[in-house]
Amino acid sequence: MNRRKMLGVVLMCFGFSLVYAAAQTQPAAGPPASAPTPPSSSAKTAVAPLPDPQTPQEFFARARALSDLEASGIPFHLKATYVASGDAEFTGNGTYEEWWESKDLWRKEATLGDYKYVVIQSGGKNTVYGSSDYIPLRLRQMLDAVVIRIVPNTGTARKWKLKHKKLKGVDLAVLSSEYECGDGKYKAKCLAEDYFTQGGVLRIHLEASVEAVYNGIHEFQELEIPHSVVVAGDNVEILTISIASLEPLNPSESVLLQSAKPPANLPAIRLPLVPDEEKSAGIQTTSSRITSQTQPVYPLAARQQRMEGTVVIDATIDEEGRIREPFVIGSASPILDMAAMDAIRKWRYQPTTLDGAPICVNTTISVKFALGRLSFF
């Protein structure tokens, strides 16, 4: 099953940007890995007097109003647990906790095994702490899926097609949008999809080759919030997330948020500045440069079947210039995807530096398989 999203050419691998990921979703060739179950009968629709959404823009706006906790403006304290599995460098049990008062005052903490990650937003300043500069892939994917986040312009950023589908007795509106993904001159076609109830509740969210199915919908402060999330990649379950508690933020928690107290024994991670800030602050950066590059092998079976296409891969370049936890975000076919992955795992880089110190970054690599030649960028 192919579900893809084009990420930036170079993004910090700390996962910070993923905390704000929009609900712009990725493709599924064939049915989703798991279908949603109907909401419990106790769940209520807060905006029942309003007409059901009819256009893509209305579906995204309704989902944001119904289920986007951070957009609601309602202070909250959320706790969750999750289990990470599948083919990844880091798997096992993890936790997530969020204290949120406003868009300018919040704290988020996540763990996976022995790894811990904390982000504090206070006084117009954002500070990131971590037990390592590298944030595991499964933890980053959990950050995308644990709560629903939809940016205001989601419905207008692309041209969306609307169709209707029934899964397990639930009538769903499916929004899809095809777009270009890939890097440099090698592009691939990717498909974004979101599944909504007819009343506008988001039930399935596809993004960056993973699919989140939202179930266990409960009412919180007139919102409809999923308490169970199953995340799959290529039809293999990789995350099971459970909301342990969701309560209004109390006054003592608000005071702690305002204190912006840093976590004990967890160092701050230095984030790179944007170019204009780097210049004004006198900070020097250098970009990653490849030093060892193994060319992908065009599989014989693919040649015999005259398979062609572009594979788009997201990967992390760590502080030592190694490729870490690559994953396909734009598929050509399973056999071509595997050939591309096998090659880039062996690539080595001169790492990106910030003020002379190596840092961890994400990169997007495109590999084009064409009969008669093979190219990569």
Check: CB of residue 3 under 8 Å from CB of residue 177: no
pLDDT tens sequence across 23-57: 333 333 333 445 666 554 344 444 445 679 999 99
Question: How far apart, in whole angstroms, are the C-alpha atoms of residue 268 and residue 116?
Answer: 12
Q: Using alpha carbons, select from 172, 176, 145 the residue that is nearest to residue 39.
A: 172
Here the tokens at position 117 are 């990650």
Mean pLDDT to the nearest integer, 136-159: 91
pLDDT given for residue 329 in this prediction: 85
* Contact status, residue 273 vs residue 126, Cβ threshold 8 Å: no
The answer, yes or no, to whether residue 216 has pLDDT greater than 90, is: yes
Can you give the pTM of this predicted structure? 0.82
Backbone angles phi, psi at 150, to 5 degrees: -130, 120
CA distances from 193 to 29, 75, 169, 324 (A): 10, 30, 20, 28
* Stretch (H or E) spanning 23: none
Q: How many CB atoms lie within 10 A of CB 66?
A: 24
Q: Is 14-259 a domain of CATH 2.60.40? A: no
pLDDT value, residue 67: 96
CATH topology of domain 275-376: TolA/TonB C-terminal domain (3.30.2420)
Residues with Cβ within 8 Å of residue 346, at least 6 apart in sequence: 292, 294, 323
The mean per-residue pLDDT over the stretch 97-109 comes to 97
Q: Mind listing the pLDDT tens digit for each residue in 331-364? A: 889 999 999 999 999 999 998 888 788 888 888 8
**Mean pLDDT, the chain, as a whole number?**
82
* pLDDT (0 to 100) of residue 363: 85
Question: Is the pLDDT reported for residue 70 higher than 70?
Answer: yes
Task: Sketch the domain layout of the chain as residue ranges.
Answer: 14-259, 275-376
Strands 161-167 and 289-292, bridge-based pairing? unpaired
